[in-house]
Amino acid sequence: MLNIFRDYFLKLVDKSVKQNQNNILKFTDPYNTHTMIDLGCDDGTWTLQVATEARAQEVHGVEIVKDRAKLAQEKGIKIKVSDLNQKIEYEDCSFDFVLSNQVIEHIKDTDLFVSEIYRILKPNGYTIISTENLSSTHNIFALMLGFQPFSMTNFSSKGTIGNPLALWNDKPIDRCTSWQHNRLFSIKGLQDLLKKHGFIIEGVKTAGYYPLCGFISNIDSIHGHWLTIKARKP
């Protein structure tokens, strides 16, 4: 029974990831993006897909894992290997577009991270930030059962903790600590953080609605799993 549940859930996850990627692509601005940077660009595959949609002419990326950064560099992305918990190594007002997909939940100092995004953006530049939604339906359900929220179970290299329904329960995770979650936001929480740092919110979308079909998140965006916000620097 547990394997059936896991297989069903994995299919939902795969569909919701694609739905979230579509949300990000819909938020890109193809007319005013000359330079863009992807904070946490991994191997650069997704970075280039977004860059194509945004029609960016110059593409940069920051990645902490050297092997992944090398792969991104081989794809033509201008890479810096750096820890995003530190000051971002670019000049003020360098980019028209800053992308951050599934990164902010791993950051220890989110004030520094958001202020650095604001600093490196040009006036009228925009950022798209996507992360897991703390107030998603399945996270709320887990809390009601006294479990860790699904999105907050990867705090240990020994495997997921505090939730017997988690997909990778009791399986050791052979990853560096940069993959562990530190902070999660609800929609209102992330919006408020961005506003306090001077951003103007232009759009909010969610994707996935576990354990139901993802299209429901188009109706009830507050409780969708993947949270994506577009915000602009005045």
Dig out the tokens for 147 from the structure: 């479990």
Helix H or strand E segment including 46: helix 45-54
Number of C-beta neighbours around residue 218 at 10 A: 14
- pLDDT tens string for the chain (234 positions)? 556 666 777 788 889 999 999 999 999 999 989 999 999 999 999 999 999 999 999 999 999 999 999 999 999 999 999 999 999 999 999 999 999 999 999 999 999 999 999 999 999 999 999 999 999 999 999 999 999 888 888 887 777 888 887 776 656 555 555 578 889 999 999 999 999 999 999 999 999 998 888 778 888 889 999 999 999 999
Q: Are strands 78-81 and 58-63 parallel, antiparallel or unpaired?
A: parallel
Predicted pLDDT at 176: 53
User: Sign of dihedral through CA atoms 167, 181, 27, 35?
Assistant: negative
* Cα–Cα dist 86/75, whole Å: 25
Residue 156, Ramachandran bin (φ over 0: left; ψ between -120 and 50: alpha; else beta):
beta
* Cα–Cα dist 116/119, whole Å: 5
Predicted pLDDT at 2: 56
Judge whether 100 and 47 are in contact, CB under 8 Å: no
* Cα–Cα dist 74/229, whole Å: 30
